[in-house]
């Protein structure tokens, strides 16, 4: 039975909304690159397994950045894979630097851009130095907002900068996911010295922006809820509020609630089942199926820059996302 959403849209619009052409083109490229292997078990089986992997969200593992950011589903799948592979960092209470988190991201996507990781870390660290340590949950929820809504946030930064300088931001150019361009963020020290912008005026411009970003912006009602609770705010204050908002995390649907972030019973059970079959492997509780596969896969296009994490530290519990707890890890 077709969903109400499917019945309400013309065929071409539904296919475009679901990015079906993107996956068909990628499937054909994968087919041509692996034609010798495909000939052994047939084209029909290849397409079946390809689209099963798309549905399961495993199709983005070890792929190039241009592919993992190509569709909202790819972005959500990458976020979920990153959480599942490395949630033991949070379970163990380890605190890592921005560059160490970037190394973990590059294990799943070897050419993942450093700039996006830096922007996510800045949401957590604010005025702190970029080499400060962060908890897994703090980084993960900040990274989710920065990665999934990247183009939207670039436009928000431009609007904010225009409002600070007294310009009319109505002519802001909305970047696309294929542009590969990232705009300069407002200077953090300057934004802290000024008291930000008027929240109601900021929302008026963001509401128009959300109309143009139909598939890559937070729900406008939740943006309004955030901005209506304050009179003024800074750009990074807005990003922090987005990253901590329970409703936005639910609407995005890639990660569990913060209280359930370290719990994945189905994954743990599958892990134990798989590792029992592999002789010589020990301590199955500290890995996940995706992470277990990492050493056996060498990306052919870009070499992995992985280096050992040299100074993990322990905490008793996950932080609540505040910069104070991150600061205390340095003392």
Query: What is the per-residue DSSP string for 23-51?
Result: HHHHHHHHHHHTHHHHHHH-HHHHHHHHH
Three-state DSSP class for residue 134: strand
**At a CB cut-off of 8 Å and minimum separation 6, what does 210 contact?**
217, 218, 220, 223
pLDDT per position in the chain (331 positions), as tens? 445 555 566 776 777 778 899 999 999 999 999 988 888 889 999 999 999 999 999 999 999 999 999 999 999 999 999 999 999 888 888 999 999 999 999 999 999 999 999 999 999 998 778 889 999 999 999 999 999 999 999 999 999 999 998 887 764 455 544 444 455 566 554 444 458 999 999 999 998 888 876 668 999 999 999 999 999 999 999 999 999 999 999 999 999 998 888 877 777 777 677 667 777 655 544 444 444 444 444 444 443 333 334 444 444 444 454 444 444 444 4
Every domain of the chain and the residues it spans: 8-124
What is the spatial distance between Cα 101 and Cα 143, in angstroms, rounded to a whole number?
10
**Which residues have a Cβ under 8 Å from the Cβ of 257 and sit 6 or more positions away?**
246, 249, 250
Query: In this structure, are residues 125 and 323 in contact, taking their beta carbons and an 8 Å threshold?
Result: yes
What is this structure's pTM?
0.75
- Phi (first) and psi of residue 308, to 5 degrees: -65, 145
Using the structure block, give the residue that is written with the tokens 């820059």: 305
Are 82 and 140 within 8 A, CB to CB? Answer: yes
Do residues 27 and 44 touch, judged by C-beta distance below 8 A?
Answer: no
């Amino acid at each position: 039975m077709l969903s109400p959403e499917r019945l309400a849209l013309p065929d071409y619009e539904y296919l475009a909304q679901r990015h079906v052409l993107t996956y068909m083109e990628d499937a054909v490229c994968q087919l041509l690159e692996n034609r010798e292997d495909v000939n052994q078990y047939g084209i029909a089986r290849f397409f079946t397994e390809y689209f099963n992997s798309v549905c399961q969200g495993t199709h983005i593992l070890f792929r190039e950045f241009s592919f993992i950011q190509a569709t909202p589903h790819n972005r959500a799948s990458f976020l979920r894979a990153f959480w599942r592979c490395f949630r033991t960092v949070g379970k163990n209470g380890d605190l890592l630097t921005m560059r160490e988190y970037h190394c973990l991201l590059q294990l799943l996507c070897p050419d993942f851009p450093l700039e996006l990781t830096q922007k996510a870390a800045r949401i957590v660290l604010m005025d702190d130095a970029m080499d400060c340590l962060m908890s897994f949950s703090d980084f993960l929820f900040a990274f989710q907002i920065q990665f999934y809504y990247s183009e939207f946030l670039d436009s928000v930064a431009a609007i904010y900068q225009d409002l600070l300088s007294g310009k009319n931001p109505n002519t802001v150019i909305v970047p696309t996911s294929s542009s590969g361009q990232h705009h300069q963020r407002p200077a953090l020290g300057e934004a802290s010295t000024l008291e930000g912008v008027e929240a109601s005026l900021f929302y008026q411009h963001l509401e128009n922006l959300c109309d143009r970003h139909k598939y890559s912006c937070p729900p406008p009602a939740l943006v309004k809820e955030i901005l209506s609770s304050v009179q003024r705010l800074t750009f990074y204050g807005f990003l922090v509020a987005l990253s901590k908002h329970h409703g936005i995390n639910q609407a995005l649907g890639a990660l569990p609630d913060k209280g359930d972030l370290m719990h994945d019973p189905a994954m743990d059970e599958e892990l134990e089942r798989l590792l029992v079959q592999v002789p010589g492997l020990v301590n199955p509780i500290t890995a996940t199926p995706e992470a277990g596969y990492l050493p056996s896969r060498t990306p052919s296009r870009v070499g992995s820059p992985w280096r050992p994490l040299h100074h993990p530290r322990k905490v008793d519990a996950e932080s609540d996302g505040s910069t104070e707890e991150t600061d205390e890890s340095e003392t």
